[in-house]
Amino acid sequence: MKKIIKITAVSLLSIVFIAAVGVYLLLFMSLPKLDASIESDAVSDNVSIERDRLGTAVVTASHRQDAAYGLGYAHGQDRFFQMDLLRRNSAGELSEIFGEKALELDKRHRFHQLRKRANNILKTLPEAHIKTLTTYARGVNDAVAAQSMNAFEYLVTGANPRPWEPADSLLVIYSMYLDLQGNTIKRDLTLTHIQSIFGAEMVAFIIQPSQYQAPLDGSLISLAPPSIPQLSPLYISQALPKEIAEPLDIGSNNWAVTGELTQNGNAMLSDDMHLSFAVPIIWYRAQLNYQHNGEDISITGVSLPGAPAIVVGSNGHVAWGFTNAYIDTADWIEIDDDTELTFEDEEIRLPDSAVDYKIPMSRFGPVKQVSEKRYALSWVGHQDYAVDMSLVELDSIKDVQQGIAIASNMGIPVQNMMLVDTAGNAAWKPAGAFPSRTNPSEVAIAESDYQADNWLIDQVDLPEVINPDTHRLWSGNSRVVSTKQHKELGNGGYALGARSTQIRDRLFAGKDFTVDDFYQLQLDNEARFLQPWQQQLITVLSTKPQRFAKDIVYLNNWKACACSDSVGYTLVRQYRQQLIDTTFAPLETQLALSSLSLSPVKRDLEPAMWQ
């Protein structure tokens, strides 16, 4: 008996060992070959790709087109599955890999028909952009073809990689549109439905301005608290408290100072783009080295896998960075009952079948029904000027003025672009696509108010600030523009402004900045915003001091920071979260009946809570 058990154990261990070795070999064989040479007719001269000790891809080529090939090759080696998901995400084609689990997400994204738009826009791009995209795609595909085996993600999912097309790079930019402006679209529809149920008074109560304002010019929107709406007892009785999710696309910061405030006379920039957590992270570090008009170009920064550009970086003369601008890029139009609709058929493929998806269309855009009403979406992402490859033109700029000129025509989701140069100049400007319509609205507008012609025109005359008298610039996803400009550009879901005010105050507390000063500001974790909540929670718990004695000690010793060892910080944060969820449960319950949520407007609720 013991012999049988021993033989069985040895056999099982052998099977496990063989399986482990097999898995290891499969994973090893799917790794890219980093030390090899290939030949390609897509390049005109030698191209080299090296990795430094941090894994940064260093591409050296004779000119920009060959550098695009090299970057594409590096992306194809290291991030192809990520790129594949990005193009499928915006195109609504994830179900082809993941099946029915991704079907609802695909329907939401196919609503925008972004693959069709990408293919159409590609035909209209400048020849240089098309050539860059084509050469980049060749690099990607050559890298995938050179692998001995598909990447392990394809082995796990059972899918096969398909070739990279030039239009796919535009789809990657569209994925950024969905990430960065998807909340704007949801926010306007949520506020529209709140107005239809609870009235305009409730909308005004929810989106009232806060005390946290840090525009660059110092102009403030007056704080005139609206009346508190009265809820029907029926809505209160039906309320089911549940967590109102925080929007995911918040947290980016950037700031700059001119050379007047640095030791060497160069302007300085800090840029920290916080997007959704993912493995791998969204960005890919790279350096491109090539010749342009007889001059050596060396640009270092982060790229977006799937696109042939350094998104944020420095070329030695100028450095630039972005945060999401949140000016209003979308409007819903309430469709009249007699407005005729057409339907466009889209096929969503699954691994072994397909689903027909019909999109209601109007002259304003695709149509969504909420309860008994129909709304059409007009969004900058649907316009022909939404995407292009103007980002690559930043490679060779010599000063912030040249960068500002390019920013006006960029086909990207509109961003707070901040630039600095070695001459000591610092500048800010919204960079990206923005419609020329003059009546942005946070709730649906009537058909008669729709400015069709203006939506077709990219607004390039956007505000800018160069070398302000304060020598300081900052942004943190909240309002940066003046109150006058705010009326013209609208609110696409600004962050509350607490981060921006804290950054502004830190900058004005200093007079002479070093790199380490900027780094310490990035590490700032003072919980200034939560201090009023901490005081209120202590007041509440102090009514029963014996019952909450331990909690009160934690709160008094909370360090006023977002520190990992601060129990008090966690208590304050959760208290605020649960109080908001409970207070607005009647609204959240009613919105859920129409598959909507307060989540897109949660950042707006702070002033209403204190009122």
pLDDT digits (tens, 9 = 90+) for 296-339: 999 999 999 999 999 999 999 999 999 999 999 999 999 999 99
* Mean pLDDT to the nearest integer, 84-103: 97
* pTM score over 0.75: yes
How much is the mean pLDDT over the chain? Answer: 94
Residue 385 belongs to some domain of the structure: no
Tokens of 3: 């012999």
Cα distances (angstroms) measured from residue 169 to each of 91, 119, 174, 245, 551 = 12, 11, 9, 31, 52
pLDDT score of 28 = 58
β partners of residue 534? none
Angstrom distance (rounded) from CA 579 to CA 585: 10
* Residue of higher predicted confidence among 68 and 246: 68
Does the pLDDT at position 196 exceed 80? yes
Query: Residue 7: is its pLDDT beyond 80?
Result: no
Quick: pLDDT tens for 312-322. 999 999 999 99
For residues 29-38, one letter each, b for 16 or more C-beta atoms within 10 angstroms of the residue's C-beta and e for the rest, the string is: ebebeeeeee
For residues 231-256, give the mean pLDDT.
86
Strand order in the sheet with 472-475: 268-272, 253-257, 472-475
With bands split at pLDDT 50, 70 and 90, how would you rate the model's confidence at 210?
Answer: very high
Classify residue 228: in a domain, yes or no.
Answer: no
Give yes or no for a contact between 494 and 469, defined as CB atoms under 8 angstroms apart.
no
Measured between alpha carbons, how far is residue 452 from residues 297, 447, 547 in Å? 42, 10, 63
Say if residues 457 and 436 touch (Cβ distance below 8 Å): yes
The Cα 605–Cα 509 span in angstroms is 30
Beta bridge partners of 298: 289
Count other C-beta atoms under 10 Å from residue 552's C-beta.
Answer: 18
Residue 457 structure tokens: 């025109």
CB 42 within 8 A of CB 142: yes
Q: Is the pLDDT of residue 24 over 60?
A: no
pLDDT of residue 2: 67
The arithmetic mean of pLDDT across residues 13-20, rounded, is 66
Of the chain, the percentage scoring pLDDT greater than 70 comes to: 95
Question: pLDDT, tens digit, for every residue of 406-429?
Answer: 998 999 999 999 999 999 999 999
* Bridge-based pairing state of the strands 342-349 and 354-361: antiparallel
Looking at residue 302, its pLDDT comes to: 98
Confidence grade of residue 19 (pLDDT, cut at 50, 70, 90): low
Q: Residue 384 and residue 117: Cα distance in Å, rounded?
A: 8
For the chain, how long is the longest CA-to-CA vector?
89
Specify the pLDDT at position 176. 97
Q: How far apart are CA 74 and CA 60, in angstroms?
A: 12
Q: What are the pLDDT digits (tens) for 250-263?
A: 679 999 999 999 99
| Domain encompassing residue 539 | 528-610
pLDDT tens digit string along 570-602? 999 999 999 999 999 999 999 999 999 999 999
Residue 164 belongs to some domain of the structure: no
**pLDDT (average), residues 164-181:** 98
Judge if the upstream peptide bond of residue 360 is cis by omega within 30 degrees of 0: no
**For the residues 377-398, what does the mean pLDDT come to?**
98
- Rounded Cα–Cα distance for residues 132 and 42 (Å): 11
Give dist(CA 22, CA 26) in Å, integer: 6
Q: How confident is the model at residue 17 (pLDDT cuts 50, 70, 90)?
A: low
Token code pair at residue 246: 């925080």
Q: Which of 10-19, 149-158, 435-444 is the least confident region?
A: 10-19
Q: What pLDDT is stored for residue 274 in this prediction?
A: 84
- The verdict on residue 47 lying in a domain is no
Place of tokens 């400007």: 429
Q: Tell me, what's the pLDDT at 25?
A: 59
Residue 53 lies in a domain: no
26-46 pLDDT, tens digit each: 565 666 777 888 899 999 999
Q: What is the pLDDT of residues 472-495, one digit of tens each?
A: 999 999 999 999 999 999 999 999
Number of domains in the chain: 1
Residue type, 265: G
Confidence of residue 241 (pLDDT cuts 50, 70, 90): confident
pLDDT the model gives residue 255:
98
- The whole-number pLDDT of residue 155 equals 84
- Considering only CA atoms, which of 459, 432, 348, 462 is closest in space to residue 177? 432
Of the ranges 97-101, 271-275, 359-363, 546-550, which one carries the lowest mean pLDDT score?
A: 271-275
Percent of the chain whose pLDDT exceeds 90: 86
Q: What is the predicted pLDDT for the residue at 27?
A: 60
pLDDT at 408: 86
Average pLDDT over residues 68-81: 97
pLDDT, residue 251, reads 76
